[in-house]
Amino acid sequence: MMLPPSLKKGDTIGVIAPASPIKTDDFEKAICFFQDLGLQVQLGKHLYEEYGYLAGTDEQRLEDFHDMITNPDIKGIIFARGGYGTARIAPAIDYSLIKKNPKIIWGYSDITFLHTAIRQRTGLVTFHGPMVVSDINKEAFDSLSASGFSQLFQPTRLVYSENISPLKVISYGTSGESAKGQLVGGNLSLIASTLGTPFEIDTKGKILFIEDIGEQPYQVDRTLQQLTQAGKIAEASGIVVGDFAESEPKSTPSFTMEEVFQQYFGKLSIPVLSGFKIGHCFPHFAIPLGTEAILSAKEKTLTVEPGVAQPLSAS
């Protein structure tokens, strides 16, 4: 595990779009948000490109990513949005550049593929959190979602409890009602898309986090069945079920999403909890991926170790 250096006021972050395109007027509110944090913002050279349903060609999006990684003035990369296309550039990324220039990498949704690829190729901890166009520009962007960025300035142990949202125990497991391991995962559909690729997610002994949007119960059922048959569920030490937005069944008869989760997770010998406001939702609780975590069914808590290194100036 490799922690990126923390940020300090005056640092510059880079914003790029490795997936779907954005509009040119989407950044005013977000730039002000980062400026209020004491940060400067540099936009990627190809940020406003459009190439079908992509924010530029694969080569352009890859160039922006490599430029931000190798630029010593850029201390963190915040992705503009998800959508589709991140997986297309993953095979061409020079992961040795990331090892030589570890820095904060922050996003979610389609970025899940990149989180997984980077962690498994380099060991770098990355961050699952609100993005520029998808979240910060929205009127619903709230104080809890905004406060998640504070963990980038100082190593912070995060504790998610029912003080944030009601949590449901789907399985207590048989190992003392708690699980330990690296926290991995992200968007369920993107996790499944890694299977059979060089970036297939490793869940062995890890706490698997899942979330999604716009997937009906039968679609989540299908994806969980794929992960189950691939052995990814059985290998995990615990499962964190995040937000599944816009997932109501559109036809009947149907299982509810809760029934699907119960069918797949209810009889597992590991702790499984649902109800976490992590994903395509507000509030959106930001978490590092790749750090050690503890999931407690007894206490109904998820505790996550810091995702950044102690500032060099600290004594």
pLDDT tens for each residue of 182-241: 999 999 999 999 999 999 999 999 999 999 999 999 999 999 999 999 999 999 999 999
Return the amino acid letter for 224: L
For residue 246, what pLDDT is reported?
A: 95
**Statement: residue 314 has pLDDT above 60:** no
Region of 177 (left: φ > 0; alpha: ψ -120 to 50; beta: rest) is left
pLDDT of residue 312: 63
Torsion on CA atoms 118, 277, 171, 203, rounded to nearest 10 = 0
Q: How far apart are CA 236 and CA 206, in angstroms?
A: 5
Extents of the domains making up the chain: 12-152, 158-304
Active site residues: 109, 211, 280
Return the percentage of the chain with pLDDT > 90, whole number: 92
The pLDDT, as a whole number, for residue 25 is 74
Structure confidence at residue 313 (pLDDT): 55
Q: Is the pLDDT of residue 159 over 60?
A: yes
CA dist 132 and 153 (Å) reads 18
Q: What is the pLDDT of residue 28?
A: 81
Overall pTM surpassing 0.85 (yes/no)? yes
Assess contact for 199 and 306: CB atoms under 8 A: no
Task: Read off the pLDDT of each residue in 91-118 and give the average, rounded to a whole number.
Answer: 98
Fold of 12-152: Rossmann fold (3.40.50)
Residue 12 has what pLDDT? 98
Render pLDDT for 269-302 as a digit per residue (tens, 0 to 9).
Answer: 999 999 999 999 999 999 999 999 999 999 999 9
Residues constituting the chain: 315
- CATH among 3.20.190.10, 3.40.50.620, 3.50.30.60, 3.30.450.40 for 158-304: 3.50.30.60
Q: Is 163 exposed, middle or buried (0-12, 13-18, 19+ CB in 10 A)?
A: exposed
